[in-house]
Structure 1
Amino acid sequence: MLTIGRWLRILSLLTVIWLITILICLLEGTEPISLSDAVGIFWAHLSSETGGAMDVGKSTILLQVRLPRVLLAGLVGGTLAVVGVTLQALLRNPLADPFVIGISSGSALGVVLSLLVGLNVFYWGLSTLPLFGFLGGLITLFSLYRLSQVHGKIFVQTLLLGGVILNAMLSAVIMFIAYMMDADKVMGIVYWLMGNLGSPDMKALAVVAVYALIGMAVLFGLGRGLNLLALGDETAVTLGLDAERTKRIAFFASALLTGAVVSVSGLISFVGIMIPHVLRMLIGSDHRLLLPASVLGGGIFLMAADMIARTLIAPTEIPVGVITALCGGPFFLYLLWRGKMKISNA
């Protein structure tokens, strides 16, 4: 049973690990920065002091390069994990994930099309790229929903298979569009599609954070509803839940979150599968705790993966999507094997 004390203890522990991960990722890189130097740089920045013994080069690396990138990795990882938790509850399938069922590819196509026709504009300081990513993901999700729905019931196997097929088709369309672009833009798009956090600034981070916080706030409010949906639609309705309304809101928020992160990070796979599974094994499946825990767990994982991508063969960077795929692929196969063993032992 979930109590306030247990909720606070688990989230406090994850928050401490999350903060330690941020610190390690800020200090490690091709140009290591000591803890004392980092403290001095932050103190000088916060107190508006200039000059002195502060290393300007290290200050630039820490504040303008690593800090935005580490925070973006934490935000993107947490967002993908939350969407994974939500989709797995809605579809009652442990393999559901924005990448696997094609939402990420739909969002990526929306972003690429908006760049192709020059629709990346700003209103009140907010980029429209996340909105086009949201529309692409929402259209993909709606198509899958309609394809797999028969007499008001969702056939999960059809949705997952349709997602895999749509994922392949949309990826082919994206690569075709990239092929038709100027040669100097092709490599940038290909690298972005492999999952790349790049060198964001604080403005880009703030833009994504606005969209992400809106979507997360909606999903956090659906914690009890997701608990009931995980029991089955009929049970949820019997217990007083408007199941279809809850699903629509959750799908809508999931598409918004996916579109926001894909617009800045490209296609990063398997975060939405691995983190929810690991956390369920550790803390249980109550979504009132699992959703906020996923934000922290996903952030911890992707920040660590990005640090590995930056340092493994430095100074060359590996796309972070490659690291997550190398971790997630075997985990995905393990889930399939475990499912097979359950069936064979039944």
Structure 2
Amino acid sequence: MGGVYLGFWGVGWLPLFGFLGALLVSVLVYGLAWWQRFSISGFILGGVVISFICTSLVIFLLSWLPLSASQWLFFLLVGDLSGVDIRLLPWVVLVVLGGVLLLLGLGRSVEVLALGREKAYSLGVEVGWLMPLVFWITAWIAGSCVSAAGLIGFVGMMVPHIGRLCVGGNLERLLPFSIWLGGIFLMLADTLSRVIFYPRQVPVGAITGLLGGIFFLVLLFGRDREV
């Protein structure tokens, strides 16, 4: 948004500004979580607060942009693959692959951390350095993907849940399987966005958001029945 507002429309500028914006948001969320001693609620509340602030700033900036730029940015903000430049692919793959290898290298410690901060402490995991490290690795991966394709919601939330049901919670199996399944899911969602209302095109983020919302509603009602 800042790059467009300042007049930087080039292919290299917009992803750069998007990536820097993602890192800035990560710093703010990390700061709020640090203030709350890295509690789960601190991460969640920090993310929600920063999200509302950024949404308000985006709406404010959109009101000052020309109509043509506003329409283009709408697709970028809700997630769209039609405007992705293939020249960005090597850079995104390099960042994602590096982050995935780092997470796989941490191995069992990340799996134990998923059980909760207190339980990880009791099992001997150095939570003090591991939580910030995992946070920054995932922020780096997410920032690179969002800067290239926009905000495509629910893929990173829904696919790991499905992957865990298919291959279990072992990180060495779950992470590669989630990458593979996430790619297939996004490809199918993008195909639907292009053909379901043809000749009009719906942003792929709208399709993934709808499917993700339905998925978590089913998951929620399923847990209520089990209780």
Fold match (TM-score > 0.5): yes
AA aligned to 2:155 is: V
Deviation at 1:120, TM superposition (A): 7.0
Q: Tell me which residue corresponds to 1:314.
A: 198
Residue 194 of structure 1 corresponds to which residue in structure 2?
A: 78
Q: What does residue 6 of structure 2 align with?
A: 117
C-alpha distance after superposition, 1:8-55 (max 9, x if no partner) = xxxxxxxxxxxxxxxxxxxxxxxxxxxxxxxxxxxxxxxxxxxxxxxx
The C-alpha deviation readout for 1:97-140, integer Å capped at 9, x for no partner, is xxxxxxxxxxxxxxx21333356779xxxx46545434433333
Cα 1:237–1:160, aligned 2, differ >3 Å: closer, same or farther? closer
User: Are 2:171 and 1:282 equivalent residues in the alignment?
Assistant: no
> How big is the shift at 1:141?
3.2
Alpha carbons 1:131, 1:259 under 8 Å: kept: no
Bigger radius of gyration among the two:
1
- The verdict on how the C-alpha distance between 1:232 and 1:164 changes in structure 2, with shifts beyond 3 A counting, is closer
**The 10-residue stretch of structure 1 (206-215 or 317-326) with the greater mean CA deviation from structure 2:** 206-215
Shift in CA distance, 313/234, structure 1 to aligned 2, threshold 3 Å? closer
CA apart distance, 1:199: 4.1
Please name the residue that 1:203 is paired with. Answer: 87
Give secondary structure in 2 for the equivalent of 1:269.
coil
* 1:139 aligned residue: 24
Tell me how many residue pairs correspond in the alignment.
Answer: 227
Query: Residue 194 of structure 1: CA displacement?
Result: 1.8
* TM-score in terms of structure 2 length: 0.85
- Find the partner of 2:105 among 190, 196, 221: 221
Give the letter aligned to residue 328 of structure 1.
G
Q: Residues 213 and 151 from structure 1, CA distance in 2 versus in 1: closer, same or farther, beyond 3 angstroms?
A: closer
- State how far apart, in whole Å, the 2-side matches of 1:218 and 1:302 are: 24
- Partners of 2:135 and 2:43 in 1: how far apart? 14
Q: Which residue of 2 aligns with 1:330?
A: 214
Aligned mates of 1:120, 1:256 — CA distance in 2 = 23
Partner Cα separation in structure 2 for residue 241 and residue 120 of structure 1: 46
Percent identical among aligned pairs is 36
Q: TM-score, normalised by structure 1?
A: 0.58
Report how far residue 183 of structure 1 moved.
Answer: 2.4
Structure 2 unaligned spans of 5+: none
Instruction: Kindly report the root-mean-square deviation, in angstroms, between the aligned alpha carbons of the 2 structures.
Output: 2.6
Equivalent in 253, 258, 264 of residue 148 of structure 2? 264
- On the 8 A contact 2:155/2:212 being kept in 1, the answer is yes
Letter in 1 for 2:99: G
Long gaps (5+) in structure 1? 1-111
Give the conservation status (yes or no) of the 8 Å contact 1:194–1:266. Answer: yes
Q: Which amino acid aligns with 1:141?
A: S
- Does the 8 Å contact 1:208/1:260 carry over to 2? yes
